[in-house]
Amino acid sequence: MTTVSQTLANLVHQRTGTRPLDCYQCGRCAAGCPQNVPGEMDISPTRIMRLLQGETAFPEKAVEYARQALTAETPWLCAGCQACTTRCPQGVDIAGAMDVLRQEGLKRRMTATTKRVRDIQALHRTFLNSALRHGRIHELFLVIGYKLRTGHLFQDAALGPAMMAKGKLHLLPGKSADTSRVKTAVERLKTP
C-alpha cells in the first residue's frame, strides 16, 4: 500500500512547491488548456488533479489512483505552455505536476502505451540525448534520431528541402557548448 510520504501528490508538492490538495476543481485549467480538446487528451488536467487528491484522501485506493494518473496520455500530451498554471486561482502548478508525472512514469516504467505517447517519448529521449551529448540541439540530428526511433522515416520528408532553403535546417551542428551544466540540471531532475 502507498504511504502518504510516497504519494504522487506529495512528490508534486516536494518538486513544485505547490499542493494538488489546494485544487478545488474549478476547471479553469482544463478550460484554458490548448490540448484539452475532444479527441486529444484521454482525461482532463482537472481529472489528473482529482486523481492526485484521491490518492491522498483514499489510501486504500491510492495505488489505483496513482496507476491511472501515471498511465494517462494527458501528462505526455501536455505542451508545458503554463496556461493551466497561470489560470489556477489557487496557484497550483499543474504544468509542473505533469512534469512530475512524466518523470515518475518513466522511473516506474508505468506510462501510457499508445502509439502517440510512444512517439512523444521517442522525441523526449532523442531531445534529451542530444542536449546531453552536445549541449544544444541540432535540428537535423534531432529529426533523424526521432525518425529512426519511431520508424516514421519518410513522414514529412517533403518538408526538408523547403526548411533547408529557408535556413531552418542546417547540415552541420554549431559549435558544441559546455555540456556539464546541462548534465547537472538533468541529474537534479532525476533526484527528488
Residue 8 is predicted with a pLDDT of: 93
pLDDT at 179 over 90: no
Let me know: does 29 contact 87? Beta carbons within 8 Å. yes
* Dihedral of the alpha carbons of 151, 186, 94, 43, in degrees to the nearest 10: 20
Q: 42-56, 83-97, 109-123, 137-151: which range is least confident on average? A: 137-151
Predicted local confidence at residue 190, as pLDDT: 62
| Spatial separation of the C-alpha atoms in residues 108 and 11, rounded to whole Å | 13
Q: Alpha-carbon distance 190 to 192, whole Å?
A: 7
Q: What confidence category does residue 171 fall into, taking pLDDT thresholds of 50, 70 and 90?
A: confident
pTM of the model: 0.79
Q: Which of 156, 160, 9 is nearest to 93 (CA)?
A: 9
Q: How far apart are CA 99 and CA 49, in angstroms?
A: 13
Residue 86: what pLDDT?
A: 96
| Residues making up the chain, counted from first to last | 192
Spell out the CATH class of 4-108. Answer: mainly alpha
Q: List the single range of 1-10, 31-40, 101-110, 175-184 with lowest mean pLDDT.
A: 1-10
Mean pLDDT, all residues of the chain: 87
pLDDT at 4 over 60: no
- pLDDT, tens digit (0-9, with 9 covering 90-100), for 69-101: 999 999 999 999 999 999 999 999 999 999 999
Q: Let me know: does 8 contact 19? Beta carbons within 8 Å.
A: no
The domain ranges of the chain are: 4-108, 115-190
Q: What CA dihedral angle connects 100, 106, 110 and 111, to 10 degrees? A: 80
Q: What is the pLDDT of residues 24-68, one digit of tens each?
A: 999 999 999 999 888 889 999 999 999 999 988 898 999 999 999
